[in-house]
Amino acid sequence: AWKLWNEGKWSEVVDEALGDLYSQSEVMKCVHIGLLCVQNRAIDRPTMGEVDTMLGSETDRPAPKEPPFTSPGSSDKSGSQSIHSNNNFTITTIEGR
């Protein structure tokens, strides 16, 4: 979502099954707020009250910063996927056959 947001292609996160049955401005708002909610530093994330206010209005929202886990994954032979970030965390997702 971060990469698409930066490229101005935020609408590509919408499920194709919806066709044109959604509000582009509402999707853009939700993607924007979602990116704010995954900021690395807690101080940069909105409170639930702020999220509620942002969802219910067209208030100005701060620009999101790059979330901490945006590095592309790399698969190994076991079928698991590791995502590495520059903050010394590793997330591994095990995928069944």
**Which residue type sits at 28?**
M
Q: Torsions phi, psi of 84, nearest 5?
A: -105, 145
**Which residue type sits at 80?**
S
For the chain, the C-alpha Rg in angstroms (whole number) is: 16
Mean pLDDT by 10 residues, the chain (97 residues): 86 86 89 91 92 90 79 44 55 71
Assessment of whether the complete model's pTM goes beyond 0.85: no
Using DSSP bridges, classify how beta strands 74-75 and 81-84 pair: parallel, antiparallel or unpaired: antiparallel
pLDDT of the residue at 37: 93
pLDDT of the residue at 80: 42
